């Protein structure tokens, strides 16, 4: 038989794509329920669910309804939730005192979840933006965000969350030195087993808009921005320095936020450091997919899966996504 090698390829890569079973066998990355963290919004009141208009299928839930949804998440195998508060405007102040009120909304939600739902982790955000009248993540004086003074408040906030039963505190404020200070505060108060997930590479992104609507900080922030403390989207090497600092200060896990526009950052960090690295599919990313799906332009489930799988491919240890319940049902 005369084989013309110049005409036909010796290696046919398509053989490995020819059927579902062989594609599954050769798949280099896989998304599982264990990779998912479900961010949720809690509000005051009872038996009330309020849709977030800019985030399709996402609701602000009162504590009683949240407990039921957390049970559902647990039963689906989702390992952890991340709770964010919707704080009433009338208790927001310049100094954010409500953030370290032992009986605040977050603390009450954590206590209720921990008393009624076993087998799921609870992550609490550590930042001041839901609690202050200006919507910034730190204290403000003469138009400047105060770093060290903010850290003192963040330590108090982390402590009341730990006392309520939080498993992981997640400082998202991007103040310099806050991880070390929070670690010391926790350890000195007997909470050495509470972990820290640092938002180490959090960018000053335009993808956060729907989240700010959800927690009610958008109107407070107004036309201001967070560029003096969140990272410049143009920078990549700076993220390595940020992560290195937080690891040295005692972070157990680190976060890249947003996710999909920063795949290179996720990949760089996971290659450089031996630390669990999470990625946050933020509200703007989620809302774009769901809105396009709602208009019939895309298959939302397929795009959601592809987006999350790309984060696994980049090296993410886990993914925060508002679609966690849907994805968990889909992948079983």
pLDDT digits (tens, 9 = 90+) for 245-290: 999 999 999 999 999 999 999 999 999 998 999 999 999 999 999 9
What pLDDT, on the 0 to 100 scale, is given for residue 3?
A: 55
The percentage of the chain sitting over the pLDDT mark of 70, rounded to a whole number, equals: 96
Longest dimension (CA), the chain: 86
Q: How far apart are the first and last CA of the chain?
A: 50
Confidence of residue 10 (pLDDT cuts 50, 70, 90): confident
Mean pLDDT of 51-69: 95
Nearest partner of 150 among 170, 171, 124, judged by Cα: 171
Lowest model confidence (mean pLDDT) among 114-128, 164-178, 201-215: 201-215
The pLDDT tens digits for 217-235 are 666 777 788 899 999 999 9
pTM here?
A: 0.92
Work out whether strand 139-141 and strand 59-62 pair parallel, antiparallel, or are unpaired.
Answer: unpaired
Instruction: Tell me how far apart the alpha carbons of residues 39 and 104 are, in angstroms, rounded to a whole number.
Output: 19
Q: For residue 138, which of 265, 210, 129, 46 has the smallest C-alpha distance?
A: 129
Asked whether the predicted pLDDT for residue 25 surpasses 80, the reply is yes
When pLDDT is averaged across residues 153-162 and rounded to a whole number, the result is 98
**Distance (Å, rounded) from C-alpha 146 to C-alpha 97?**
16
Backbone angles phi, psi at 68, to 5 degrees: -65, -40
Q: Spell out the domains of the chain, with CATH numbers in brackets.
A: 30-331 (3.20.20.70)
Contact (CB, 8 A) for 67 and 117: yes
- CB count, 10 Å around CB of 280? 28
Give catalytic residue positions: 202, 257
For 108, other C-beta atoms within 10 Å of its C-beta total 16
Question: Average per-residue pLDDT in the chain?
Answer: 93
Q: Are 315 and 275 in contact (CB under 8 A)?
A: no
Burial class (CB in 10 A: 0-12, 13-18, 19+), 231: buried
pLDDT at position 216 is 65
Coil, strand or helix: which one is 325? helix
What b/e readout covers 153-177, taking b as 16+ CB neighbours within 10 angstroms? bbbbbbbbbbbbbbbbbbbbbbbee
* Residue of 259, 146, 137, 247 lying closest to 196 (CA atoms): 247
* CA atoms of 190 and 186, how far apart (whole Å): 6
Average pLDDT over residues 46-58: 93
Question: What is the Cα–Cα distance from 34 to 53, expressed in whole angstroms?
Answer: 29
Burial class (CB in 10 A: 0-12, 13-18, 19+), 9: exposed
User: What per-residue confidence (pLDDT) applies to 5?
Assistant: 55
Q: What is the pLDDT of residues 93-115, one digit of tens each?
A: 999 999 999 999 999 999 999 99
Classify the C-alpha dihedral 95-100-103-104 as positive or negative.
positive
């Amino acid at each position: 038989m005369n084989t013309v090698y110049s005409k036909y390829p010796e290696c046919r890569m398509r053989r490995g794509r020819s059927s579902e079973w062989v594609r599954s066998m050769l798949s280099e990355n896989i998304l599982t329920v264990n990779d998912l963290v479900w961010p949720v919004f809690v509000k005051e009141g009872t038996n009330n669910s309020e849709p977030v208009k800019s985030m399709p299928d996402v609701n602000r839930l009162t504590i009683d309804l949240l407990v039921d949804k957390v049970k559902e998440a647990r039963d689906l195998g989702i390992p952890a939730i991340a709770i964010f508060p919707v704080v009433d405007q009338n208790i927001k102040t310049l100094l954010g005192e409500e953030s370290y009120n032992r009986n605040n909304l977050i603390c009450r939600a954590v206590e209720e979840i921990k008393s009624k739902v076993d087998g799921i982790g609870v992550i609490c955000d550590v930042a001041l933006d839901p609690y202050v009248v200006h919507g910034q993540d730190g204290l403000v004086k003469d138009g400047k965000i105060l770093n060290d003074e903010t850290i003192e408040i963040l330590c108090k906030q982390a402590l009341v969350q730990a006392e309520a039963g939080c498993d992981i505190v997640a400082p998202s404020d991007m103040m310099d030195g806050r991880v070390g200070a929070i670690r010391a505060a926790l350890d000195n108060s007997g909470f050495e087993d509470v972990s820290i997930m640092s938002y180490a590479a959090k960018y000053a992104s335009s993808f956060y808009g729907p989240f700010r609507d959800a927690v009610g900080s958008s109107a407070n922030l107004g036309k201001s921005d967070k560029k003096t403390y969140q990272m410049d989207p143009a920078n990549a090497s700076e993220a390595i320095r940020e992560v290195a600092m937080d690891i040295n200060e005692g972070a157990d896990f680190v976060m890249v936020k947003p996710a999909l526009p920063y795949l290179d950052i996720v990949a760089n960090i996971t290659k450089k450091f031996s630390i669990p690295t999470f990625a946050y599919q933020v509200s703007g990313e989620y809302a774009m997919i769901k809105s396009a799906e709602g208009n019939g332009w895309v298959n939302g489930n397929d795009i959601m899966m592809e987006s999350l799988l790309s984060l696994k491919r980049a090296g993410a240890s886990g993914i925060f996504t508002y679609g966690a319940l849907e994805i968990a049902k889909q992948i079983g």
